[in-house]
Chains A and B, each alone.
Chain A
Amino acid sequence: MTNDEKQREFHDLLAVNRGRLWAIARSFSDSSDIDDLFQEILLQLWKSIDSFAGDSSRETWVYRVALNTALTHRRQLSRRERNLPTTTVDTEVVQQRHEQSCEEQILDEFLQGLSPVDRALMLLFLDDLTHREMANVTGMNENQVSVRLHRIRQKFNQQYLESEP
């Protein structure tokens, strides 16, 4: 692939997936480093663009690159956080929460409470991917995906439905 072709390909890819990539970055980082993770995802997409062989859909491929990058970023962030004091209040988070609707807050809170794998799966669910596509992205089989999604649904119901009057 020539550099121009690569650039065109990347441009098209970004035009379709930008919002999705931003959402992944937002779900896997602190408010202060969303931009960093977003840039890192774009960088990995650019580097991986030659490896797209067409054996999976473009959408699935984008998810794989973005989620692998986000999970790696999350690991590195956790390592850094272990060495930092956590007494400061993130004013950006407070501001963001203030601007969010109640439903958005529930969604964010629920996503943040999930394990990294469940969070990744949940993002795929929210974007309407089929179980087969989810299995393709995560490396689990379709049965495992169903079981996990069922548990996530149960967890949500326990947390937010059973507490409703």
Chain B
Amino acid sequence: MGLRKNRPAEGAPVARRTMLTMLGAGAVALATAPWLQEGWEKALGAASQKDPTGLTGVLPNPGGFRYYSVVGSVPRRDETDYALRIDGLVDRPTTYTLEDLRALRQTRIVHDVLCTDGWRVENTPFEGVRLSDLLEAAGVRPEGRALRFTCFDGVYTESLTLAQARRSDMLVALRMQDEPITHEHGGPVRLYAAPMYFYKSAKWLSGISVTDKVVPGYWEEYGYDIDGWLDGEDRDGDGPAA
């Protein structure tokens, strides 16, 4: 009784076809992603112009920053308690307050920000003190070869070679998009390594130490490139002329 009904139906294998269709669609999407993405970003860019909800910010490739932190919570620092310490192989170890940094010569760079996770923010202005100015003031000793950056989240670290750090497009940034850098974006002070992927631009910067060799940073310990150059950057240059 009911045996006939019980046997799995001998009809078309619709579920299998659905699955294979998904696989095919995935392959086609991968192959055409560069074009799809361009169209998508255009549409989204137009939409986000008039989006009071901010909902477009969570859609893929939103043309906006995303929040990354490697720790659970990050202490907040402001004028009253922020300090940037420059030490290591230098003649004059120095500690700067936020006010000290603001009093130094400010440089503004407009550059595209690219994350290794695929999001980008085009033509983003950053403003702050050139790393090379701070290094000059501290007096790098002859055996100094590289820089190690530490952060007041207590965990994150980054690195640059001395030659990279002396480029004109490496900033200790105080302002982003012409506003003071907010806590979420790594404020009050973050690194901005314009010609490199954004993970090189350490947030919540609290220390710069001159070392005799490159010490890989946080993500670099997990396999990221130590030199996070963006495609098309002039790797051997001094950065754009001032």
On whether the two chains bind one another, the answer is no
